[in-house]
Amino acid sequence: FCHVTSQTRNTFSLLTRLDSFTAYDISVFASNELGSKSSAWIRFTTLGQPPQIPEVIHNEVTSSSVTIRWKLQDYNGGYDMKQLWYYLQYVAEADYSENFICRNCHNTTSTQANYIQIVDLSQNTKYKIRVIANNPAGTSFSNWMEISTTGIPERPIITNIIAVDSSLIVQWDRLTYNGGYLVNEANFYVQYSINQQQGNNSHCQLCLLTNSIKNTNVTLIGLTRLTKYWIRVLAENPVGRSYGIWHRAWTLGFPPGVTSITSISTTRDSISLAWREITYNGLYDTRNLLLYVQFVSVDFVTQDCRYCYLANATTPTSAIISNVIPNTVYNVRVVAQNPAGRTKTAWKSIITQNSPYSGINFNVINVTSETATVKWTVSRLSDIRTFTIEYTPSTVPFPNLNCSKCLKIYNHHGSNVTDWKQFKTTGIPDKPQITDITTTSSTAVIAWLPVDYNGGYDKIFLSYFVEYTDTKLHDSDCKQCLRSVNITTTTAMIENLFRNSSYWIRIVSQNPAGENYGNWMKVKTKGLPSKPEITGIQSNYTTIFIEWDPIRYNGGYELSLVKYYVVFGASIMEGGLPGPCLECNRSSRISGNSLLLTPFLPRVNYSFRVVAVNTVGSSSSSWQSVQTEGLAPDHLNISEVITAANSITIFWRLLFSGGYSMIDIDFFIQYIEGPCKGISNCTSCHFIKSKNPRTYTIDELPSGTNICLRIGATNGIGTCYSQWINKQTLEPTVSTTATPVATSAITQSQSSSTTTIPSTPHTTTTRFVALPVMPRITYVEEGWSYLNISWLSERSTTDVSISYFVLYKEQTDENITCHDCQETSPVYEQYYLLENLRNDTMYLIQVVAMNVHGRSYSPIRQVKTRVNPTLSPVPIRGIGGLLGPLLGGGAAVIIIVIIATIYLLKVIRKRGGLFHSNVEKKNLQQGPIYEEIDNFANVLYESGSTFGIQGNNSTNGDVYISSPMDRPFNQQNSISSTTAFLTDSGIYASDEQNKPKPLINYGGKAPQ
């Protein structure tokens, strides 16, 4: 079948059209007219294909490092996967250009893992990075990625400093760049000192530093009054801090001392006041003291003095108010003011003197927003024939100037003229002012100050309503706004808001004249916490320690109120990479940022995510996975030995692989001729490596010879050995058509040196015997007079005629063996119902799988039948009434149907397994039911619901069963009942290892 090339006179030849990664044998022929000779055959292998282009799936960036993760490839161009290597190539973006030849690129060391970390990079620098996969056939490159390292934030800028008493309110702009991190993740600090500071570096002489701040303002309290402070703002992220520019600000002193009015005198158009001299000006110079008088007619007094007028003091202890209205009551007070504040005297009431009587008395009645009715009387009506009303609007209420809505009446000749009177037309109410807004995830409670002035109307004509919108508006119309009903109090609640959403809210005051609009105020409803980020996972053989960064935003709630729990479980492998767990567990809730979880199986991929919980709900981190460390194999047992004249066939079982799959474990046989006595290290033993993980045949042995042998297993972590056993090959027989074969079976309940039992002659001296796979008991339902046993066992690929039977006996002593056990009749299903047993009795059971070649035994298991029940079946009383308020009537009916279904399945199981001929049909019918129950259990788990079932026993007492929400897999106490129980983790029972498992499992041949 060899190919021959064309002849050539050269000393080389090019072979083409060869298959990639294929071994070829080649020999060179030299010939002349006398004949030809060939070289020795040489074997070579053609190259395979280059690896696939790497697919980047994730990158992590810090200020000085970049970690790139990619998807591990499952094909290496025909080569072994151990010949596939990866490395990174990177260069600063400043050195990169189009059609770039990577002469100045940096290359990392090669790895076979799926990630590499590049360290010692520059801060705030852009890099071009790509992943390179390499095998003996060539190299594949991913596309260039642009990745920037993180750095310190930009420098914060102070916008305002406000002095209030002995405090300073410092305000600064929000950051626009946080060194590559999210802007809202920056922390701020304010540094301040009474000592002069220079420069913008980190040095600060005798400075004080506030705690971490998330907002853009802070109030520095407890400062020394009337003192100059040096202040700057620091911005911080995980890389470091940036320092703002120093600013200077003075704290305030104290308000001036309080005085009191000592004397008041009036004329018809003036008021004179005198007061005690103020000698204390709150640490300020007296030149910074301002004195003035506030006055207002008694009809226009308001709390905020909005209609008051001012008159400056003429001396430090006196003032004269001119051009007031005669015969009018005024309220007056003295105000002293400095930069720190004001002090005021108490109000004093005084009436100005009358003018000469004009013979006319009048009043203004029925004032509205646009009209006023004037009514007057005269003393001598015969002297007056015509009247004139004079009024003028003005902002200054003095008669010799213009008077705001002032009025006087005089006769036709002007000889009888009244004094001025002042009135005000009615109007809209004052603008309302919001004082507080408290939000939840769906509501906002608003409080505001009552308006001081209702436009001249009585307060019974005053009402409010709330306007709100989720769109920022600047107009007063707010046609898109939602509006509450009229409110007469000063608080209101808005409901049905969206969580974690911004709203603009204002209060509108209203009276018969119209409406007045308060200022818009922005609020945010409470929401979900931010997503936590896992920072580290450490694992050993059975424990995993997980750490995460505490969240920095709790949906508007205090950070101290957040709780965490960890969702974890065995990873689902997707394309060779670990994915999220399918059957997940959940830890209890904690307040910290780390958790130690145990126990786990060795060398198994587990996936984790951290969940942050507040009153509104929860947010989850991304999934991360880790593989626990493996262990050395252990419990390697020889299960059967078949001897022939010149061979020995050994079968063994490795009960513990240390977490490794069988293909990753190397099995080997050590043997030596002679007895086993005195053998320890066996340096002179023969060593044979087995490719089969369960059996091996040693050939070409001398007949009639003692052979001492043992099996070894190694997985890179360590090595374990079986016991040494001594076997003798058979003597050769005269017949040439058949060679006797002897077998011996070694089980866990039998000695490893059992007697050799001759078997039926075979036509060959060495034969591979396919024993059935050792069955494994998966579930035992312990009834009061029965045991319902289920097991798993792989079907043999060479012989499907495998039957099973159960060995069982009452355990009367501490000896756990089954040589005297009773034997059931054979079955072909993987379950069996043992009936007519004694209640409250310990039994030993063992499942045996049997085919034409022999038997395999499961490990012996201890079980116990239950106590004969004395309680009658527990009825579920009022379950609809119990679950109805929780889930609604329809959901309660569904739960009752599910419980009835479970009970029916339990009854079917107690009466024995399904007949073999009906198994597939029954599974097809029950599969959707099981799936629905599992889905419903998951819904209960995710919703965190807690249920209880109320039953009753023989003493007519109530029995309550429930599960706390923070322990979804809490083991419940058993009850004498024919119903299942619902917990917050679904519908659950427990197996022999006290591990939670669904009560309904549709994966086997019979209901579990």
Condensed to tens digits (0 to 9), the pLDDT of residues 601-619 reads: 888 889 999 999 998 889 9
Q: How far apart are CA 126 and CA 147, in angstroms?
A: 6
Mean pLDDT to the nearest integer, 858-879: 64
Mean pLDDT of the region 656-683: 84
Q: What is the pLDDT of residue 171?
A: 95
SS3 letters across 145-177: EEEECCCCCCCCCEEEEEEECCEEEEEECCCCC
Per-range mean pLDDT, top range of 33-47, 251-265, 413-427: 251-265
CA distance 214 to 156: 13
pLDDT of residue 869: 59
> Helix 879-887 to helix 889-910 angle, to the nearest 10 degrees?
130
Burial 94-133 (b: 16+ CB within 10 A, else e): eebeeeeebeebeebeeeeebbbebeebebebebbbbbbb
The H or E element spanning position 889 is helix 889-910
Question: What are the backbone dihedrals phi and psi of residue 298, each rounded to the nearest 5 degrees, phi first?
Answer: -60, -25
pLDDT value at residue 89: 92
> Tens digits of per-residue pLDDT, 630-652?
888 888 999 889 998 889 999 99
Which range has the worst mean pLDDT, 298-302, 474-478, 792-796, 877-881? 877-881
What is the per-residue pLDDT for 476?
65
Given pLDDT bands bounded at 50, 70 and 90, which one contains residue 700?
confident
Q: What is the pLDDT of residue 733?
A: 67
pLDDT tens-place string over residues 814-827: 777 787 889 998 88
Query: What is the value of pTM for the model shown?
Result: 0.41
Start-end of H helices in 757-822 = none
Distance between CA 956 and CA 954 in Å, rounded?
A: 5
The string of pLDDT tens digits covering residues 354-397 is 777 667 778 888 778 788 888 888 776 655 567 788 777 755 44
Predicted local distance difference test score (pLDDT) of residue 415: 62
Q: What is the average per-residue pLDDT within 670-687?
A: 82
**pLDDT band, very low/low/confident/very high, at 134 (cuts 50, 70, 90):** very high
Please report the pLDDT score of residue 80 as a whole number.
81
Lowest average pLDDT, out of 422-431, 510-519, 937-946, goes to 937-946
| 3-state SS, residue 514 | strand
Q: What angle do CA 936, 938, 942 make, to 5 degrees?
A: 120
What six digits make up the tokens of 6? 């064309």
Task: State the Cα–Cα distance between residues 51 and 49, nearest whole angstrom.
Answer: 6
Whole-angstrom Cα distance, residue 453 to residue 803?
97
Q: Has residue 276 got a pLDDT over 70?
A: yes
Query: pLDDT at residue 736 above 80?
Result: no
Q: State the pLDDT at residue 959.
A: 37
Q: How many residues does the chain have?
A: 1008
Three-state helix/strand/coil letters over 421-482: EECCCCCCCCCCEEEEEEECCCCEEEEEECCCCCCCCCHHHCEEEEEEECCCCCCCCCCCCE
Yes or no: say if 375 and 421 are a contact pair by the CB < 8 Å rule: no
Q: List the Cα angle 291/294/295 in 5-degree steps.
A: 150
Q: What share of the chain is helix, strand, coil (3-state, %, to 5)?
A: 10, 40, 50
Confidence tier at 399 by pLDDT (50, 70, 90): very low
Q: Which tens digit of pLDDT belongs to each residue from 180-204?
A: 888 888 999 999 999 888 777 777 8
pLDDT at 710: 92
Give the pLDDT confidence score for residue 507 in this predicted structure. 92
Q: In the predicted model, is pLDDT for residue 952 greater than 70?
A: no
Q: What is the mean pLDDT of residues 895-923?
A: 48
Q: 162: pLDDT confidence band, cut at 50, 70 and 90? A: very high
Mean of the per-residue pLDDT values of the chain: 78
Residue 1000 scores a pLDDT above 60 = no
pLDDT of residue 906: 52
The residue among 87, 182, 200 whose CA lies nearest residue 134 is 87
Choice among 205-209, 572-576, 749-753 with the minimum mean pLDDT? 749-753
Q: Rounded to whole angstroms, how far apart are CA atoms 24 and 41?
A: 10
Query: pLDDT band at residue 563, thresholds of 50, 70 and 90?
Result: very high
Residue of 574, 625, 269, 638 lying closest to 419 (CA atoms): 269
pLDDT tens-digit map of 806-860: 999 998 877 777 878 899 988 888 889 998 898 889 899 999 988 877 788 888 8
CA pair distance 302, 451, nearest whole angstrom: 10
pLDDT at 904: 54
| Beta strand segments in 860-909, E | 861-864
